[in-house]
Structure 1
Amino acid sequence: MSTHCPRKKILNDLETAVAESLKGIILTNPNVVTLNFGQILLIRDYAHTKKVIIVSGGGAGHEPMYAGFVGNGMLSAAIHGEIYTSPPASEIFRLLQELSFHSSRGILLIIPNYSGERLHFALAVERAKNEAIPVKILIVDDDCYQGKPWKGRCGLSGIVLVQKIAGAMAEADLELTEIFPFCEKVVKKLHSISVVVQKPTPVRGKCVCIFEEQNVVIEFGASLNGEPGIKKELDSATEICRYLLDEITSPQVGNPIEFKEDESVVVLVNNLGTSTAIEELVFTKELLSQLYERKVKIDRVYKGKFVSSLDTAGFSVTFLKVFDKRVIEYLDAPCQVPAWGNLNNFTISPKLDRVICAKIKPSTAPVPQVGPKFTESGSNTVMMVLQFACDALYSCEKQLNTIDHETGDGDAGTRIRRGMEAIDVAIKTEKINLLYPYTMLAMLSKIIEKDLEGPLGMIYSVFLEAGSNVFRITPDTEPITPKLWSKALMEGASAVKRCLTTEAGCRTIYDPLYVCSTLLENGLDLVGISAMEAVGVSISAAEEAAQKTKMPYAKYPDPGAHSVAIWMRAVLEGLKCRWIED
């Protein structure tokens, strides 16, 4: 059923708007193509590239990001989800497979720091690693305001500068091992702030430039996805720029910039979408004038619409400290990217509407049986432990829903129940391989992604996928020991930490995973304590860590952390029934 667009939007159908917008690009740019899956734009000669591949992506609604920056000298590919929604991990993974099929130089993924993007791209990267695809992921969190501990600062317009620098480095034939660490430094030197204008009401019967409000209501620090910022009433561009510079240099914002006389900066003024050209020019003039008054040395200035936000008036301003002379060299390097400003001279033709069939087809092959193999007794133990965990989580549906209702949608327990039902069916129909740890965990990851869904499903899928990789790279002659399981648990926990950009103690699902994996690793090395005892102590500590995720204002702990405590306790009880000391 089609979803017709509201009349104020000149679109056909909301469900096809993103795909149609990409077609609009390829009809006007002969250097790019789309694939026969997903909402993807690539450079036309991607199958013949011999350089490191730079990819970016995320939810649509921020045009010209991401597709507008695909071209030689910048991005090799861009992948889009629906509006304000990350592309699915399956499509990201298939894109990585397609690109790596044609190039072995490696892939750099550059994404903004939003939870959906982190989770879906992280899962795709873990699966790419399991296929030995050389890929790195770089998360851009340039917002100057301190974000929540478990989310970090959000991504704003600074990502454009990172993409330009990474693309120039790839064009210069540098290796992924050189591009990634340099761009990591670039991200650390970025400082951005958004200035969103709340729409005033025109005075009836008078010029549309005359408004009821004398002052303009500004939100500082609003995200690109509509999350609100700090409201302030200001009456001119002069006051707005003064407040902006005071804020971004204040130690209280979390990611302040310090302008030093011996340092220079790059300035990017980004139109968030609906501000007029005259506003953009006046704002840029005022910002630069005040920077010069503060004796800030400016090496480069870019202005225009780079990263938009639907129906949003205002700007985001990005400062990049020039910590290395190569920063300017890479920014100045030529590129064939319309949204950057280097337009091509070519003849328009309807023949440009061309779809490329990907060489890599969606895999229907079963997960390979590699790595060490369970003994018959070990396989039976794993099946019992899995059944215990599924039953425990299934029975706690209402409890988890109640906990989740306090801070979320109240459906965490129901989602988990659906996932456990799918696993239970797979076990009973023998559609899940219980002979190889790698195969079992990789299959569980796919089931959880499909049936549990939502952020929690993505987190667990990343956890299982990363843990499976430990067994994949372990020689099949190695025995399956508690120490090997500990290593897999540690790797899974580390992957969750990376995709959530969190730390221990931030009261998230990572806390019990971290505590259990750390204590288990250390406990297995202690003399005089059995593996079973080490597991018991570690899980008890994880349960305590899960309880400590309760916020000061809340009645309950984090639902994800609580779900970890539930299945860990069930795993322990299952092991007690079947445990065999090695």
Structure 2
Amino acid sequence: MASSKPITKKVINSPETCVDDNLRGVVALYPKLQLHPKHRVITLRRKNDSGRVAILSGGGSGHEPFAAGLIGPGMLDGAVAGGVFASPPTGNVLYAIAQLYKYNSGGVLVLLGNYAGDRLNFGKAFEKAKIAGIKMESFIVGEDVASSHNKTGGRGMCGEVFLFKMCGAMSAEGYDLQSILNMVEVVHKNMATLGVCLTACSLPGQAPLFEISPTEMELGAGVHGEAGIEKLKMGTAKETVALILDKIISHLKLQADSRVAAMVNNMGGTSLMEMNIIAAEIKDYLDQKQIVLERIYSGHFKTSLEMHGFQICLLHLTEEHQKLFLELLDAPTGAGAWSGGELSTGGEGEHGDDDTLLRDVKRKAASGPALSVSEQKKFRNSLQAAATELIKNEELLNKLDSGCGDGDCGITLKNFGKAILKYLESASLEYPSNVLWELSELAEKDMGGTSGGIYSLGLSAASQCLATATANDRHAWLSALQSAISTISKYGGAEPGDRTMLDTLHSAMKAFEETLETDICTLLVRINEAAERGAKATTSMIAKAGRASYVSREHWRGEDAGARGVAVWLAAALDTLTGHH
């Protein structure tokens, strides 16, 4: 049913082109930046090796100027953009890493926000980069106070920009990769962010994401358009700043005589007058607490489209590191979002991608045990059944996902199902390891979002496990399932019991382990039954990871969509193998 709320007006060409049009605008404003349009990557233009460490970040679009607008000498060397509020796909992240490493032999440090989609898609890119021999390190930033008690840690907010500035300054001074990473770890422990919003934002071509009463505000709002953790009565600037700083100071355990740097982040729709008032109140409040405000920065750093709201981030300038931290904050930068400067003077050459970069960043040939002709036929039939069932269940999975997610679980799994059916038209199924790897690549390219990252990582891990197996037997497939679950948990941050797809997979795995030595028909039936129980059990679970963990429990309805999705395709595949389909 269409929304009864009116679509918000935006000055764009179309919702479909707004991300790419935005990137074209960034390089139009700052021609010394290089756009790689097919991969939605922007980098500093370089012809020679800098010899130093490159700093890379990125994530969903809609947070401008984060991150492409913060590229420049003394800050980021590159950024990779996803769709609006969606993680960039693995291939684009890998391209950005490879592009920066080509011109920065000191290595690449990737900073990413603590969000499931980013962790998964960036995570697979990191694994591929390491296989390719690229020197790199990564750090997940999550300094949000409102979500700090979440199992996977706080979300990444505007504090990431402090790290862009400080890492960029260290790189410019010639620090090595490990030294910069060590500094990041210290800074991360000593900063915290919290904010409020007065109105919701709206995705291009859509109505506002939620409603707030004119007399209320949301405490703990995120930068992906999500509401906060608590509705509060609207207060004055002084009262609101005091409320936020009380919580940040408590979180960081600051005392009188502590020294701090502050950042006031405009979430997109807050006037400059309001921002100035907020800055004044921050200074007055900290003076009253006898906390020394050494630096304060205000502006659009990491926005949430047109959301009316702001965040405050405090960085504790500890006695041990105060001198270095201030030097890094004060170091010169030519990043465009700070002000017009060197990058505005023009650049040379056309924009284009370096299509040679990813030719060697591929999986080495790996086959593992082979299937007989009859086994290949069963494998093909089970994959076809699984894919067809995913397509049929689009509406159900979207509905389950609409309460606590973004309502697209059914769409993404349908896309995967269609891609699998097309793949099966011409694919060889002789080597299961190769098939699972190719399905992993399909998930990466055709699904998108968090689900694409999860399936891609899980399938690639299972593939690598089967590649080293000595026989195509139940022991090999159990090991592959265990490896997939372990890898998804590693990068996604979730565990069984957290109300995610892992609950279905883990339940199936336990049944697999317990009935491993029984006859094949009984084994498959037990796995299927356990998967169904695992999916149903998520109905009463408390979400501890993923997007559902960021919203109030009142929005959870029924089973977890991802968990049900696994049960859908697994049942279809197993029923085909047992002859029940």
Which TM-score band (shorter chain)? 0.7 to 0.9
Residue of 310, 332, 337 corresponding to 2:334? 337
1:210 match: none
Larger Rg: 1
Gaps of 5+ in 2: 1-6, 201-213, 542-553
Pair 1:492-2:494 in alignment? no
1:512 match: 504
Structure 1 residues 150 and 128 mapped into 2: Cα distance closer, same or farther (>3 Å)? same
Preserved CA contact (<8 Å) 2:79 2:96? no
Deviations 1:377-415 (A, max 9, x none): 4x8546524532541453475567435424438775575
1:74 match: 75
Residue of 391, 403, 410 corresponding to 2:385? 391
Q: How many residues align?
A: 540
| Aligned residue type for 1:505 | G
Preserved CA contact (<8 Å) 1:126 1:466? no
1:238 match: 238
Gaps of 5+ in 1: 1-5, 200-214, 251-255, 578-582
| Aligned residue type for 1:225 | H
| Aligned residue type for 1:338 | A
- In structure 2, C-alpha distance between the alignment counterparts of 1:27 and 1:559, rounded to whole Å: 42
1:405 match: 399
Deviations 1:529-569 (A, max 9, x none): 57979998777655433332113687742232133234445
Structure 1 residues 464 and 330 mapped into 2: Cα distance closer, same or farther (>3 Å)? farther
- In structure 2, C-alpha distance between the alignment counterparts of 1:81 and 1:516, rounded to whole Å: 33
| Aligned residue type for 2:534 | A
CA apart distance, 1:258: 2.4
- In structure 2, C-alpha distance between the alignment counterparts of 1:534 and 1:493, rounded to whole Å: 19
Preserved CA contact (<8 Å) 2:269 2:307? yes
SS at match of 1:34: strand
Residue of 518, 533, 536 corresponding to 1:544? 533
| Aligned residue type for 1:141 | G
- In structure 1, C-alpha distance between the alignment counterparts of 2:126 and 2:306, rounded to whole Å: 33
Residue of 304, 309, 312 corresponding to 1:309? 304
CA apart distance, 1:318: 0.6
The root-mean-square deviation of aligned C-alpha atoms, in Å, is 4.3
1:359 match: 354
1:51 match: 52
1:90 match: 91
CA apart distance, 1:509: 0.7
The 5 Å alignment of 1:520-539 reads none
- In structure 1, C-alpha distance between the alignment counterparts of 2:151 and 2:221, rounded to whole Å: 18
Give the TM-score normalised by the residue count of structure 1. Answer: 0.77
- In structure 1, C-alpha distance between the alignment counterparts of 2:435 and 2:147, rounded to whole Å: 40
Moved more, 364-373 or 290-299: 364-373
Preserved CA contact (<8 Å) 1:115 1:500? yes
Q: Which of 1 and 2 has higher RCO (CA within 8 Å, sep 6+)?
A: 2
1:434 match: 430
Structure 1 residues 369 and 521 mapped into 2: Cα distance closer, same or farther (>3 Å)? farther
Pair 1:420-2:417 in alignment? yes
- In structure 2, C-alpha distance between the alignment counterparts of 1:421 and 1:345, rounded to whole Å: 48
The 5 Å alignment of 1:255-404 reads 256-261=251-256, 264-322=259-317, 325-326=320-321, 329-330=324-325, 332-333=327-328, 334-339=331-336, 341=338, 344=341, 351-352=346-347, 354-361=349-356, 370-377=365-372, 381=375, 384-385=378-379, 387-392=381-386, 394-395=388-389, 398=392, 401-402=395-396, 404=398
- In structure 2, C-alpha distance between the alignment counterparts of 1:283 and 1:481, rounded to whole Å: 65
| Aligned residue type for 1:269 | V
Preserved CA contact (<8 Å) 1:415 1:453? yes
